[in-house]
C-alpha cells in the first residue's frame, strides 16, 4: 500500500502534492469558461479502460497526497468506479470533480464513498440560479449543484465548492459568502479566471479588484465556518502573510504550490502537463514515466525555479511562497515565466521611496 506524505513534508522537486487526471472531455454542460472546451462525446483517443487502470497504478507509485479525477465530466466514464477503486484500494486519496448533471444527482453517493472518494468538488459560479445557470450554459444546474452538495455531505464525503472569480462575478462576492454559509462546505475554493479554453481576457478581473477581494477574504476567514483557499490566485498567500505580521497570528496552512511546482496534470489522451490551465506538454503516460517527467523534464524544473521568474515576480520577497500564476502569465503574454499579470503589489526591491508599509516589505517565512 502506498504511503502518502503530509502537506508539509512533501518535496515538490520529487513529486507533486496534487495530481489532476482529466478522465474525459465529455460533458453535458457548456460552461463559458471551460478550460477543456468540453464536448458532448468522448474523444476517440482518450485512454482506454486498460490504460486507465495502468495509469492508476502508476499514480499510486508516484504517491501524490491527492489525486483529483476531473474532466469534462468524469462521471461520463463508464469505468469511473473501477478507476476510483483501483487507486483507493492501494491507499491513494481520491477526490472527484464532477459536473452537476442528472447523471450525478442520480448517483448513489454512498457507493462513491465506499469506492474510495474522500472528497468531492462542485462548482457554483453564480450566487443565484439565474446567474449560475447562465454561466454554466444549462438550465437547472444551480439546483442540481445544491442537491449534489447535500447528498455528498449526507454520505460523509468532504465537500469543496469552487467559484470562479471573473469581472462579471465580482459583484456577487457578498452573496457568494452568504450562500457558502448556508451550504457550509469544508472548503470554499476561489478560482481566478485564466484565459485558456473558452475563457477569454474580456472577463478577467482587474489587479485592484483582486487585491480588494484578497483583503476581504483575509478579514473574514476566521469568522467563516469553512476554510478558504484559492486556485490560480497565489498572491492571496502574500495577503495572508502580510496580515500575519500585523496580527501575530500565522496562517494554519500555507501552500507553496503552483503550476508544475507540486501540481501535475494528465489530459484525457495522456499528455503530462504542469496544470490543466497551462497547456504545455512534457510527455505522455503512454510512453513516459510520470515521476521521471515530473522530476527531470525542463518544463517542470524551470517552473519550479523561483529565481527564474521574470519581471517583478523574480525579485519579489514572496516569490518562494507565491510565484504568481504561471498559467495566467502564459495565457496573457505567451511566456510562462512572466510576472503575474493580475498582481498590483510592488516588491520591496523595486520601491524607490521608503515607508510603503513595513508589513509588505518584510521577508516571509516558510510554512
Mean pLDDT per 10-residue segment, the chain (367 residues): 54 97 87 60 92 98 97 95 99 97 97 99 96 89 97 98 93 96 97 77 89 96 93 96 90 89 98 96 98 99 98 97 97 96 96 51 34
Output the CA torsion sign for 309, 321, 176, 277: positive
pLDDT of residue 138: 86
Give Rg (Cα) of the chain.
Answer: 20
Cα 135 to its chain centre, rounded Å, is 19
Beta-carbon contacts of residue 258 (< 8 Å; ≥ 6 apart): 234, 303, 322, 323, 324, 325, 326
Residue 324 within a domain:
no
Residue 348 within a domain:
no
pLDDT of residue 288: 98
What pTM value is reported for the model?
Answer: 0.92
C-alpha closest to that of 101 among 122, 129, 119: 122
Residue 11 within a domain:
no
pLDDT of residue 34: 60
Residue 194 within a domain:
yes
pLDDT of residue 137: 82
What's the CATH code of the domain at 261?
3.20.20.70
Residue 239 within a domain:
yes
Residue 42 within a domain:
yes
Greatest CA separation found in the chain? 62
Report the run of H or E that residue 290 belongs to, with start and end: helix 290-296
pLDDT of residue 35: 53
CA distance 289 to 268: 17
Q: How many domains does the chain have?
A: 1
Within 10 A of 252 (CB to CB), how many other CB atoms are there? 9
pLDDT of residue 310: 97
The crossing angle, in degrees rounded to 10, of helices 80-88 and 49-62 is 20
Residue 332 within a domain:
no
Enter the C-alpha cell of residue 76: 461520463
Residue 82 within a domain:
yes
Range of the domain at 215: 18-296
Amino acid at each position: 500500500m502506498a504511503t502518502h506524505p503530509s502537506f508539509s513534508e512533501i518535496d515538490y522537486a520529487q513529486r507533486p502534492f496534487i495530481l489532476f487526471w482529466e478522465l474525459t472531455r465529455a460533458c453535458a454542460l457548456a460552461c463559458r469558461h471551460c478550460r477543456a472546451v468540453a464536448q458532448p462525446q468522448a474523444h476517440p483517443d482518450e485512454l482506454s479502460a486498460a490504460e486507465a487502470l495502468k495509469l492508476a497504478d502508476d499514480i499510486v507509485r508516484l504517491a501524490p497526497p491527492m489525486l483529483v479525477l476531473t474532466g469534462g465530466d468524469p462521471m461520463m466514464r463508464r469505468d469511473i468506479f473501477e478507476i476510483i477503486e483501483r487507486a483507493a484500494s492501494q491507499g491513494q486519496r481520491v477526490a472527484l470533480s464532477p459536473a452537476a448533471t442528472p447523471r450525478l444527482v442520480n448517483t448513489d453517493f454512498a457507493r462513491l464513498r465506499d469506492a474510495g472518494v474522500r472528497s468531492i468538488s462542485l462548482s457554483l459560479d453564480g450566487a443565484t440560479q439565474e446567474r449560475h445557470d447562465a454561466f454554466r450554459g444549462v438550465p437547472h444546474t444551480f439546483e442540481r449543484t445544491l442537491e449534489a452538495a447535500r447528498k455528498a455531505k449526507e454520505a460523509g464525503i468532504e465537500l469543496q465548492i469552487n467559484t470562479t472569480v471573473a469581472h462579471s462575478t465580482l459583484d456577487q462576492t457578498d452573496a457568494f459568502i452568504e450562500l457558502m454559509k448556508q451550504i457550509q462546505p469544508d472548503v470554499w475554493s476561489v478560482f481566478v479566471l485564466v484565459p485558456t479554453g473558452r475563457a477569454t481576457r474580456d472577463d478577467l478581473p482587474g489587479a485592484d479588484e483582486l487585491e480588494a477581494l484578497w483583503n476581504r477574504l483575509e478579514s473574514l476567514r476566521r469568522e467563516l465556518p469553512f476554510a478558504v483557499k484559492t486556485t490560480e490566485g497565489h498572491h492571496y498567500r502574500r495577503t495572508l502573510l502580510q496580515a500575519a505580521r500585523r496580527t501575530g497570528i500565522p496562517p494554519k496552512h500555507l501552500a507553496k504550490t503552483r503550476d508544475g511546482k507540486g501540481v501535475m496534470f494528465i489530459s484525457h489522451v495522456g499528455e503530462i502537463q504542469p496544470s490543466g490551465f497551462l497547456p504545455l506538454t512534457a510527455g505522455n503516460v503512454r510512453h513516459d514515466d510520470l515521476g521521471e517527467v515530473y522530476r527531470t523534464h525542463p518544463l517542470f524544473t524551470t517552473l519550479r525555479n523561483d529565481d527564474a521568474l521574470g519581471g517583478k515576480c523574480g525579485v519579489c520577497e514572496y516569490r518562494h511562497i507565491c510565484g504568481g500564476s504561471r498559467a495566467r502569465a502564459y495565457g496573457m503574454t505567451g511566456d510562462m515565466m512572466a510576472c503575474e499579470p493580475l498582481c498590483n503589489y510592488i516588491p520591496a526591491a523595486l520601491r524607490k521611496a521608503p515607508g510603503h508599509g513595513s508589513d509588505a516589505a518584510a521577508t516571509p517565512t516558510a510554512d
